[in-house]
Amino acid sequence: MAPDFTFHISHFTFKQKLKTMKLICIGRNYSEHAKELNNPVPENPVFFMKPDTALLLKNRPFYIPEFSNEVHHEVEVVVKINRIGKHIDEKFAHRYYDEIGLGVDFTARDIQQKCKEKGLPWEIAKAFDYSAPLGEFIPVDKLPDVKAINFELLKNGKTVQKGNTSDMLFSIDQIISYVSKYVTLKIGDLIYTGTPSGVGPVAIGDKLTGKLEGEVMFDFEVR
């Protein structure tokens, strides 16, 4: 019986390895946004993680969770990691991604504020189920300039957040280098690279549309 049991365990582990991925999110990466939340501009990238259960795909509606009265949208450029890496040097970081996307880092701002006051981790404000809508991806070589990507978020057809990745405090390559000192990056991992200013609350019935270089990357409803 023993060999058969071993086979099932290893088979299960193998499947798990293929399917799991993680979301790494960068905080305070645009100085105007750090200022609007009264946060100091950081010396190093600030990162936190969301589990894969945070993903919300295919323009499915986002349901405001019952535990928060103030869920904010944070539109963010998303980098999809395409090879495994640890201690990645900044000058080689560009080899670790070839697609750029757009997503939302939904944040229960009221809960996050309480966590901050108590010096507690942010997970319950950031990592909850479906807190990370993710849209389409564009190959890096189809972008006019990967170091200066224009993106915006429209709420009910009106632009509420507008950014350019050249305004990031830490570039995509610096983020990859920094994060990979601490955490091994694996194929399929996603890095949400931080939000520009203009974050604000969402309400039931809102329609959120994300654009990258003018292309619609996601378009979904808040319920």
Q: Name the residues that contact Zn ion, by CB under 5 A.
A: 74, 105, 195
**Minimum distance, C-beta of residue 136 to Zn ion, in the bound complex (Å):** 19
Nearer to Zn ion, 125 or 154 (CB): 125
Q: Which is nearer to Zn ion, 73 or 211 (CB)?
A: 73
Task: Give whichever of 74 and 173 is closer to Zn ion, judged by the CB atom.
Answer: 74
Element of type H or E holding 46 = strand 46-50
Query: How far is Cα 143 from Cα 19, in angstroms, rounded to an integer?
Result: 28
Q: How far is the CB of 87 from Zn ion (least distance, A)?
A: 25
Q: Residue 70 CB, nearest distance to Zn ion (Å)?
A: 15
CB under 8 Å to 6, separation ≥6 — which residues? Answer: none
Of 106 and 137, the one with the shorter C-beta distance to Zn ion is 106
Residue nearest to Zn ion (CB): 105
Which residue number, 126 or 211, has a Cβ lying nearer to Zn ion? 126
Q: What is the DSSP letter of 84?
A: -
* Smallest distance, Zn ion to C-beta of residue 187, A: 23
Give the whole-angstrom CA distance, residue 24 versus residue 176: 10
Residue 85 neighbours by CB distance under 10 Å: 21
Q: What is the Cα–Cα distance from 44 to 170, expressed in whole angstroms?
A: 8
Q: Which is nearer to Zn ion, 21 or 37 (CB)?
A: 37
- Rounded to whole angstroms, the Cα distance separating 83 from 211 reads 26
Q: Phi/psi at 162 (nearest 5 deg)?
A: -145, 130
Exposed e or buried b per residue across 106-127, where buried means at least 16 C-beta atoms within 10 angstroms of its C-beta: bbbbebbeebeeeeeebebbbb
Closest contact distance (angstroms) between CB of 99 and Zn ion is 20
Q: In whole angstroms, how close is the CB of 77 to Zn ion at the nearest point?
A: 11
